[in-house]
Amino acid sequence: MSDILGLIFDKDGTLFDFRATWGGWSRRLLEKLAADNGASATLLGDMIGYDMTSGDFAPGSPVIAHTVCEIAEIMLPCLPGMRLESLVADMNRLALEADLVEATPLLPLVADLSARGVKLGLATNDAEEPARAHLEKAGVAGFFDFIAGFDSGHGTKPDPAPLLAFARRTGLDPASVAMVGDSRHDLVAGRRAGMRTVAVLTGIATSTDLADLADVILADISHLPAWIEQEASLKS
């Protein structure tokens, strides 16, 4: 039997392909903010590491792993008269409408993992409401034993607190849980929580960026069942 009894996932760049999902969202957000506030969409994009011409993200873009509040605070100086609370609300509202592109077909994968008896959790630096809505839209929310956003009261990655909250909720030893994510924030949180760390390459970071923090690097989450089986074989 495998010693991997729980998986806690990041959301964007892990369950959903980062560029394909959030490139279009970022463009719509910046164009709306620019039109409503007389600002430059290009300048706003530069501030958050998004290129309006190419539609791509810089490797250090705060959109990759920071909270909505942190991203909003970066843009706020170029949006005179706008309050942080209003900007965050606008960003969350647009996030609910994001065109999600699954990193791999999620329903069969999540159903398979659940059937194996693996407990599933989500720890995202997005807000909880859009996170739940995204899982509902993908038809997989019911398989998750734990869903936490930056505003759920468990802290934010790279703090391990939301990961440890998942372990407490499910009664699992953190050593039997793997954190699955596409960013250094995810893997640092996993290490600090005493969990295994699984890096996936459906975000912006490369294998070189993540290698020093990852126990294993997978192209995407579709390879998780095979990895779990491999880990089980090593224990037998």
∠ CA 35-127-193, nearest 5°, is 140
Any idea what the CATH number is for the domain that residue 227 is in? Answer: 3.40.50.1000
Please check whether residue 138 lies inside any domain of the structure.
Answer: yes
- Which domain, by its residues, includes 160? 6-17+102-235
Joined tokens for residue 5: 């009894």
The C-alpha atoms of residue 163 and residue 191 are separated, in whole angstroms, by: 10
Does the residue 1 lie in any domain?
no
| Eight-class DSSP state of 197 | E
* 209 compared with 232, residue with greater pLDDT: 209
Tens digits of residue pLDDT in 5-29 = 999 999 999 999 999 999 988 999 9
Res. 232 pLDDT band, cuts 50 70 90: confident
Cα(124)–Cα(147) distance, integer angstroms:
8
Within this chain, do residues 230 and 126 fall inside the same structural domain, yes or no? yes
CB 135 within 8 A of CB 141: yes
Q: What is the DSSP string of 82-132?
A: --HHHHHHHHHHHHHT----BSS-HHHHHHHHHHTT-EEEEE-SS-HHHHH
Last residue of some domain: 96, 113, 140? 96
- Using CB atoms within 10 Å of the CB of residue 196, give its burial: 0 to 12 exposed, 13 to 18 middle, 19+ buried: buried
In a domain, 226, yes or no: yes
Digit-coded pLDDT (tens) for 27-68? 999 999 999 999 999 999 999 999 999 999 998 999 988 889
Within this chain, do residues 90 and 168 fall inside the same structural domain, yes or no? no
Query: Considering the chain, what percentage of its residues have pLDDT values greater than 90?
Result: 85
* pLDDT at position 236 over 70: no
CB atoms within 10 A of CB 121: 24
The alpha carbon of residue 1 and the mean position of all alpha carbons in its chain are separated, in whole angstroms, by 29
| Residue 158: cis peptide before it, omega within 30 degrees of 0 | yes
Q: pTM for the whole thing?
A: 0.89
Mark whether 63 and 149 lie in a shared domain.
Answer: no
Average pLDDT for 104-111:
98
Residues 173 and 217 in one domain: yes
